[in-house]
Structure 1
């Protein structure tokens, strides 16, 4: 959103806090006009980029800057620059999968940088650019968020209107903690569809270890199935009242799963920090393309938020100074953690593991979590392998690379 990856590596860890704005009706109209204008400008730039197949920021700036300012009345210079940067970011990772130009939603979030907004910390107000003039709007938030905005380096901020409430999501940079050596090994976490997470300590998440009304994984599946049936019924009905209920229910399941993933990742990182261990998870990138699922299971598979859980665990571990590793997921549920025997026959049932060589038996997800923990130890040893130079292998390889040349060869 607001802090580049290189800046985060140099200065610290990125985080985002949310502030609530309280504009007057006139100011709210000006902010709404700014959002519409910026999204319209981004759509214009996106169509130009797609038409000319120009996606690099410098070339796109040369192509689209004067054009977008001429076609979108009231667009400021810096707002045009930010629109071009948004388009570049939109095409950066998804260009190959797109079949047409990217269209920005009229009321989507709009990024503001330091030239478009400024904070008055004493008065608790923020000055925001609009097409007519700047507006000075009071803001509020949690005490810890207000303190963070006052004391930490700030990046960009996203201006969002959510159900009539204006929000400012500000990117901040936290100090970079020192990652401690995992003296106690690694805490392995197996992610799945039936059980969202099972640790190598035999803890099933969500479950009694987590607070809140969610009783377990069966409760989560029941709630999600109920929401699916409710959405399908209302969409089939198609009346204005049904659409009104759909709007009211929109995002509820997403918020529930996001909250669960936050709770799971927080529990895992705290347990690893308490016991002096690192955290190891499976590298599940591309799993949806590799796994063949029955048509009745596709909705469950594609609604599996494993990437979000990995991302939450990664940044929470970085904040706490806990080592984090992604390991190879191949055969973690078919291998025996005691004797190392790998066979499909070790899984007589979906949730059960019995080693055909040594006889070790147990819950399949717990066995997989133990294998993940073992691979975490092995992977950490390889990455931090000592060398005659005194540097770990990963750092040695990084520092041995020649610096990039400013010119051509």
Structure 2
């Protein structure tokens, strides 16, 4: 299984040397050289390695100073030509440089049920702490999106408070099971982990490095689990009340936000995008309307009279309208504004037309077909 990683590194060096990063051009450049250098590499494995290299450069090309080198035990992509499933025997056949191997698989009951019943896509073979894991993509049945008859549930994401809904719920909190007691508890745990990493890195001994390896990924797993719980609670509440879900569109926030140097680590480790994606796919699975809204001035605008001014925020957590006197928690006010913008945005996108089609669908179907190039 190790030959896939040197193959990707060979392709990566060729891509960097010739500044060729698209899949098609990279295939023309590297397919035959990499198969000549890595004798055991199969045709389809070479194709997947090329796609893997192109994907590695897709989002980080401008910031890279040298060719990307792939780890020896990095993830190895598999598609339908490189693996086959025997669901009755709970086994999967995987391509390797020395021939195919058939190995049994196990998992949680819910995961096994998904593998047994849903169409399977590509997979990644990964190595974690002495255990081989197969991460499989599945095609979920598409649920029909229901109309949000009771409006939208607005959720304000932040650093001080991870999530606040327009109902006034501050998450995480008592509604979530587990040891996490609140936002303050999350910040305390992350600060403690940061100080621990600093001490061990400063010590630099072999024992310290062993502890760092053991602790690696623990904070990431904590936040991933927490974001799953938050998104699940939001989707469940929206489904119970017949509402849609509206979140702020925070794309590019790290580049726009100006943070003090003591706050930059907190800002750049904020997993807001993960929670958005978790909420998006859970909402789609449940057939709940989901929309991202413009985040500008959501915490400075009054949802009652519409007054928008910086003076409405006398303190970080306080909101006091200078016109009508509406007062409350700033994050709760922001969530109310997000809910209102979500309802307005959904109505604009799904506005009925004389043709009987919503405007978004009408625009898609009125576009001329794309040129085939013939």
| Structure 2 match to 1:239 | 205
Q: Distance in 2 between matches of 1:251 and 1:359?
A: 46
| Structure 2 match to 1:373 | 339
CA deviation profile, 1:257-295 (whole Å, cap 9, x unmatched): 111100000000000010000000000111111111111
Correspondence 1:253-402 to 2 at 5 A: 253-402=219-368
Q: Distance in 2 between matches of 1:227 and 1:205?
A: 21
**TM-score between both structures, scaled by the size of structure 1:** 0.90
Q: Distance in 2 between matches of 1:260 and 1:150?
A: 28
Q: Distance in 2 between matches of 1:88 and 1:402?
A: 31
**TM-score between both structures, scaled by the size of structure 2:** 0.98
Q: Distance in 1 between matches of 2:190 and 2:323?
A: 40
Instruction: Look up the SS of the partner of 2:334 in the other structure.
Output: helix
CA deviation profile, 1:349-388 (whole Å, cap 9, x unmatched): 0000000000000000000000000000110011011112
* Shift in Å, 1:233: 0.5
Instruction: Kindly indicate whether residue 3 of structure 2 is the aligned counterpart of residue 42 of structure 1.
Output: no
| Structure 1 match to 2:142 | 176
Q: Distance in 1 between matches of 2:97 and 2:353?
A: 59
* Shift in Å, 1:67: 0.1
| Structure 2 match to 1:194 | 160
Q: Distance in 1 between matches of 2:56 and 2:197?
A: 30
Unaligned ranges ≥5, structure 1: 1-33
| Structure 2 match to 1:135 | 101
Given the alignment, which residue of 246, 250, 253 partners 2:216? Answer: 250
| Structure 1 match to 2:122 | 156
Unaligned ranges ≥5, structure 2: none
Instruction: Kindly indicate whether residue 72 of structure 2 is the aligned counterpart of residue 106 of structure 1.
Output: yes
Higher relative contact order (CA 8 A, sep 6+): 1
CA deviation profile, 1:77-117 (whole Å, cap 9, x unmatched): 11111101111222233333333222212111101111111
Correspondence 1:204-223 to 2 at 5 A: 204-223=170-189
Q: Distance in 2 between matches of 1:268 and 1:90?
A: 33
Query: Which moves more between the two structures, 65-74 or 373-382?
Result: 65-74
Given the alignment, which residue of 35, 43, 59 partners 1:69? Answer: 35
CA deviation profile, 1:317-370 (whole Å, cap 9, x unmatched): 000100000000000000000000001010000000000000000000000000
Q: Distance in 1 between matches of 2:47 and 2:265?
A: 40
Corresponding pairs, count: 374
RMSD of equivalent CA atoms: 1.1
* Shift in Å, 1:174: 0.8
Instruction: Look up the SS of the partner of 1:54 in the other structure.
Output: coil
* Shift in Å, 1:230: 0.6
Moved beyond 3 Å, runs of 4+: none
Given the alignment, which residue of 32, 53, 56 partners 2:19? Answer: 53
Q: Distance in 2 between matches of 1:241 and 1:94?
A: 34
Instruction: Look up the SS of the partner of 1:174 in the other structure.
Output: coil
* Shift in Å, 1:185: 0.3
Q: Distance in 2 between matches of 1:387 and 1:271?
A: 31
CA deviation profile, 1:191-237 (whole Å, cap 9, x unmatched): 00000000000000000111111110000111111111111011101
